[in-house]
Amino acid sequence: MLIFCCWLLQINLLYDSECPLCLHEIKFLEKRDINGNIKFTDLAAPDYNESSPENGKIDYEAGMKVIHAVMKDGEVVQGIEVFRRVYNAIGLGWVYACTSWPVIGPVVDWLYDIWARFRLQLTGRPALAQVVKERAERLAASGVPSCNDDKACKPLR
Ligand SMILES: *[C@@H]1O[C@H](CO)[C@@H](O)[C@H](O)[C@H]1NC(C)=O
């Protein structure tokens, strides 16, 4: 059963569970993902593994900056492309099909970039650097080693 379920997982979506608006979207996707094609990985979980290939070796800060997903073959995608892949996986690819069109596509990418840049502010949270620092402090306090303040201990890419 376990092998069966993991074999079906096509996309590992790295999401921020501390973002209320994002959670709304995630809940919708979870409900629509009846075939279990999507793995939902919470970036904000204390045990989120930044060095796991399954998570594309995406660190917390990079994942917070822009949404990422890791495909079954290890390919890492980000931004609007994540939504294209994820909606494809739940059979709603047409929703994002127009984002591959000329003119509309770049506009949607641009809108997403703005959202990604300002979402913390828009949802009443501190700036990214502060969020990253607070997380590192929380992890340190709970005894989980953190590499956030020490670039040298980040995995090589
Ligand atoms: C994180 O992932 C790496 C690479 O797969 C693995 O070696 C390591 O044990 C994992 N760490 C934890 C805490 O699971």
The reply to whether 111 falls in a domain is: yes
Q: Is the pLDDT of residue 117 over 80?
A: yes
How far apart are the C-alpha atoms of 146 and 135, rounded to whole Å?
Answer: 9
Look at the chain and report how many structural domains it folds into: 1
Domain limits at 59?
2-143
- Confidence (pTM): 0.83
The reply to whether 154 falls in a domain is: no
Q: Is the pLDDT of residue 71 over 80?
A: yes
Ligand 1 neighbours, Cβ below 6 Å, are 49, 51-53
The reply to whether 22 falls in a domain is: yes
Angle between helix 104-122 and helix 80-89 axes, rounded to 10 deg: 100
**CA of 47, closest atom in ligand 1:** 13
**CA of 52, closest atom in ligand 1:** 2
Q: Which of 51, 154, 157 to mutate to test the pocket of ligand 1 (most atoms within 8 A of CB)?
A: 51
The reply to whether 157 falls in a domain is: no
**For every residue of 76-103, which 3-state class applies, written as one string?**
EEECHHHHHHHHHHCCCHHHHHHHHCCC
Q: 97: pLDDT confidence band, cut at 50, 70 and 90?
A: confident
Q: Sign of the C-alpha dihedral, residues 130, 135, 136, 140? A: positive
